[in-house]
Amino acid sequence: MPIAKPAAHLLLSLLFATLLGGCTLGPDYQLPAVAVASQWYAPLPHGASVVGLNDWWRQFNDPALATLLHLAEADSPSLDQALARIAEARATLDGSSAAAQPQLNGGLTKARAGLRQRGVKQRGSTSGATLDAAWELDLFGKLRRNSEASRNLLEARVDDWHDARVSLAAEVGDDFVQYRGCQMLVNAYRDQAQSQGQTARLTRLSFQAGFTSAADAALTDASAAASSATLTNQQSECDVLLKSLVALTGSGEEQVREVLAHTPAKLPEPALLDVREIPANLLRQRPDLASSERQLAAANAQIGAAQADRLPSLSLVGSFAVGNTSGAYSRNWSLGPQLSVPLFDGGKRRAAVDSARAGYDVALATYRQTLRTAVMEVEQSLVRLDAARHSEVDAQRATDGYQEYFQAIDRNWHAGNASLLDRELARRSALSAQIELITLQQNQVRYWIALYKALGGGWQDEPAGLAGDAPTRGGA
């Protein structure tokens, strides 16, 4: 086979020339410059301790909340979906990387054949083995761009997993705080209902003895019934929140009730967050924004892949086959370059480039919108938190004042110096002030949770997190 050596030299020369002269089409990715404020305009928390976001939940020092968070992460469909998408993206990346490697396929055949010609029958058997190889040379970077896009998408899916964790923790924490606030309201309504029930009983006895008017007896009965109805409605709201916690944790209702019963019905006290980061740094903190940015990088790489697909592709192909037909042995082989040139496709490849560019524009608009939303959520959380903190002092003073006023009117009523209507009005004012204070304190904790989520939840500071073996960004 005297032609094998010159052919090999020719192929090697062609291969080296291709590798040296190869290029990567498409724009190289750069993070787009998106206008964002240079500072926060909402009032920042004062006197806040410098607490890392990743340690924030532990600062609540609430065993019930910690248990619920662990239960939620241990059995969360949203986290399982995010992990499955990571596995899917990783498989896509492996497939993109494999496309740039040589491909080798083998085959075996075994058959019997018969031939009848001019009344003569001939029979024989054939067998053979084939080995086919192909290696596409990445002339214009199509394979490299596809691999780049797949890698960016994998990083985006990892960011999505972190976002799912932060969102899950914030949702569990928010429902837990609402449940504790609901329990406090139930206690307040229960005290009122018991007090009103006792007042109605005494007033009814006084009416029967002829010392109290029928109007006062009817008023106390109506007030007691209204208090009982309000208590029932509030208890149902607590049960609704309990159902949410059961669904989030994937646990039985008995288990969740047992966990909540271990600690008293009071609001947790979160550690105050020191908002030092500026708006432009949210990209490093918020996993949803980081995921959107990685989606943008992947869309940018897909433009280059679509452009390269419009140009010729060069592959190095070879085959080797051996066979035996009715005892006759044969062997053949081939090795050489194969050039594929797209001549006419009706504009299909050009449309693919236009689609890739449009996909980049969509990803860019999504990234810009996500960034704006992130800044807005932080600003709104800071405004609500500041208002709640300043209102709490006044609400506490109002609660104390209305309670003292009710106690004074109640003493006068028992002494016969105030009407039952005056007492009822004072009671309702005291109860309304107490409810407003509890609601304000509950919302203040919820605003801290919203700020925690808006700032990104410390997803980069805690590689493993509560899930232990979950993937981390850049290390998937």
Q: Which residues face 137 on adjacent strands? A: 314
pLDDT, position 48: 46
Mean pLDDT within 150-154: 95
pLDDT, position 459: 66
**Residue 120 falls within a domain, yes or no?**
no
Average predicted confidence (pLDDT) for the chain: 84
Q: How confident is the model at residue 355 (pLDDT cuts 50, 70, 90)?
A: very high
pLDDT, position 116: 62
Mean pLDDT within 134-156: 91
Contact 103, 302 (CB under 8 A): no
Among 403, 405, 423, which residue's Cα sits nearest to residue 413? 423
Contact 129, 106 (CB under 8 A): yes
| Lookup: tokens for 229 | 């109805």
Q: Which residues contact 247 (CB under 8 A, 6 or more apart)?
A: none
pLDDT surpassing 80 at residue 124: no
* CATH assignment of the domain containing 365: 1.20.1600.10
pLDDT in tens, 427-462: 888 888 989 999 999 999 999 899 889 888 876 644
**Would you mind telling me the total number of residues written for the chain in this entry?**
476
Total domain count for the chain? 1
**Residue 247 falls within a domain, yes or no?**
yes
The dihedral built from the CA positions of residue 115, 121, 125 and 126, taken in this order, carries a sign that is negative
Q: How confident is the model at residue 53 (pLDDT cuts 50, 70, 90)?
A: low
pLDDT, position 418: 83
Q: How confident is the model at residue 16 (pLDDT cuts 50, 70, 90)?
A: low
- Helix 63-74 vs helix 142-208: angle between axes, to the nearest 10 degrees? 140
Among 207, 91, 212, which residue's Cα sits nearest to residue 153? 91
Domain that holds residue 380: 23-102+138-311+347-467
pLDDT, position 34: 85
| Lookup: tokens for 208 | 């029967």
- In angstroms, the CA 125 to CA 329 distance is 12
SS (H, E, C) the chain: CCCHHHHHHHHHHHHHHHHHHCCCCCCCCCCCCCCCCCCCCCCCCCCCCCCCHHHCHHHHCCHHHHHHHHHHHHCCHHHHHHHHHHHHHHHHHHHHHHHCCCEEEEEEEEEEEEEEECCEEEEEEEEEEEEEEEEEECCCCHHHHHHHHHHHHHHHHHHHHHHHHHHHHHHHHHHHHHHHHHHHHHHHHHHHHHHHHHHHHHHHHHHHCCCCCHHHHHHHHHHHHHHHHHHHHHHHHHHHHHHHHHHHHCCCHHHHHHHHHCCCCCCCCCCCCCCCCCHHHHHHHCHHHHHHHHHHHHHHHHHHHHHHCCCCEEEEEEEEEEEEECCEEEEEEEEEEEEECCCCCCCHHHHHHHHHHHHHHHHHHHHHHHHHHHHHHHHHHHHHHHHHHHHHHHHHHHHHHHHHHHHHHHHHHHCCCCCHHHHHHHHHHHHHHHHHHHHHHHHHHHHHHHHHHHCCCCCCCCCCHHHCCCCCCCCC
Q: Which residues face 124 on adjacent strands? A: 113
**Residue 459 falls within a domain, yes or no?**
yes
Rg (CA), the chain: 37
pLDDT in tens, 358-401: 999 999 999 999 999 999 998 999 899 889 888 988 999 999 99
**Residue 112 falls within a domain, yes or no?**
no
Residues 423, 424, 428, 431, Cα dihedral to 10°:
60
Q: How confident is the model at residue 226 (pLDDT cuts 50, 70, 90)?
A: confident
- pLDDT cut 70: percent of the chain above it: 86
pTM of the predicted protein model:
0.82
- In angstroms, the CA 37 to CA 462 distance is 27
**Residue 79 falls within a domain, yes or no?**
yes
pLDDT surpassing 60 at residue 13: no
pLDDT, position 283: 63
**Residue 8 falls within a domain, yes or no?**
no
- In angstroms, the CA 46 to CA 287 distance is 26
- Residue for token digits 């140009």? 311
CA distances, 19 to each of 14, 38, 136, 148, 342 (Å): 9, 46, 11, 19, 21
**Residue 295 falls within a domain, yes or no?**
yes
Residue 318 burial (C-beta neighbours within 10 Å; 0-12, 13-18, 19+): middle
Q: How confident is the model at residue 3 (pLDDT cuts 50, 70, 90)?
A: very low
pLDDT in tens, 250-304: 999 999 999 999 888 888 887 677 676 667 777 678 899 999 999 999 999 999 9
pLDDT in tens, 75-111: 999 999 999 999 999 999 999 888 888 888 998 988 8
Mean pLDDT within 130-144: 88
- In angstroms, the CA 389 to CA 376 distance is 20
Contact 291, 473 (CB under 8 A): no
pLDDT surpassing 50 at residue 122: yes
**Residue 37 falls within a domain, yes or no?**
yes
- In angstroms, the CA 216 to CA 61 distance is 49
